[in-house]
Amino acid sequence: MDENLVGSALSEAREKMHKMVLHTQAEFAGFRTGRASSGLIERLTVDYYGTEVPLMQLAGFSIPEARVLVITPYDKGALGAIERAIQASDLGINPSNDGVIIRLVFPSLTEERRKELVKQVRARAEEGRVGVRNTRRAARHDLEQAEKRHEINQGQLDRAEKELEKLTADSIAEIDRMLEAKEKELMEV
């Protein structure tokens, strides 16, 4: 009977579930809340001398006011490319370039837009939950196959399934906590 098999299956499931939670968190960061946040533009790609480069590698970010994001390029020659990338994005914000930095001023969101964003955030949260459940299903299948091959016994399988359920519940609860916080942030006027 191989206890290491159970441990590695649970460890792999834990890691995959954690990655789903982190992915969901990164998805949430991309939603505009009417407040300035570098998470909205960090992953934006910029055509920098013919190469697509993430904006976070080309510039620093600061938030001097709640609705203002300042982008300071490390190379002043990248200002135009960064400005074009922001204009081409789906942010719907017009950048202000003073030759040294780029300012993004985030307007307040309308009630209708807030509700639409909440729906989108809930959909992303559900995708995260589904990913966690799929990970549980795959791990359970692997453990059941190991039990059928007599690599682990029924008792080990039962303990592993209980641990798997706890991992799943914890991961889904974390996604739900993040969802609640993001919904509150979106609905805040």
The per-residue DSSP string of the chain comes to: --HHHHHHHHHHHHHHHHHHHHHHHHHHHTS--SS--GGGTTT-EEEETTEEEEGGGTEEEEEEETTEEEEEESSGGGHHHHHHHHHHSTT----EE-SS-EEEEPPPPPHHHHHHHHHHHHHHHHHHHHHHHHHHHHHHHHHHHHHHTTSS-HHHHHHHHHHHHHHHHHHHHHHHHHHHHHHHHHH--
The residue among 17, 23, 26 whose CA lies nearest residue 166 is 17
Given a contact cutoff of 8 angstroms between Cβ atoms, the answer to whether 59 and 69 are in contact is: no
Output the pLDDT for position 67: 83
More confident of the two residues 187 and 161: 161
> What are 151-165's pLDDT values in tens digits?
999 999 999 999 999
For 74, the token pair is 């490390």
Calculate the alpha carbon distances from 121 to 24, 28, 107, 115 in Å. 9, 7, 20, 10
CATH architecture of 38-105: 2-Layer Sandwich (3.30)
The pLDDT of residue 89? 81
pLDDT of residue 44: 85
Percentage of the chain surpassing pLDDT 70?
97
Q: Band the pLDDT of 71: cuts 50, 70, 90.
A: very high
Q: With a cut of 90, say whether residue 13 has pLDDT above it.
A: yes
Q: Whole-prediction pTM value?
A: 0.71
Is-contact 20 171, C-beta < 8 A? yes
Find out whether 132 and 172 touch, Cβ atoms under 8 Å. yes
At 1, is the pLDDT very low, low, confident or very high (cuts 50, 70, 90)? very low
The band of 130, judged by pLDDT with boundaries at 50, 70 and 90, is very high
Mean pLDDT for 96-125 is 88
Radius of gyration of the chain (CA): 22
Confirm if 86 and 44 have CB atoms less than 8 A apart.
yes
- Measure the CA–CA gap between 60 and 71, rounded to whole angstroms: 6
Q: Where are the domains of the chain?
A: 3-29+110-187, 38-105
Q: What is the CATH number of domain 3-29+110-187?
A: 1.10.132.20
**Mean pLDDT for the chain?**
89
Query: Residue 60 above 60 pLDDT?
Result: yes
Hey, what are 164's tokens? 């798997």
Provide mean pLDDT across the span 40-63.
87
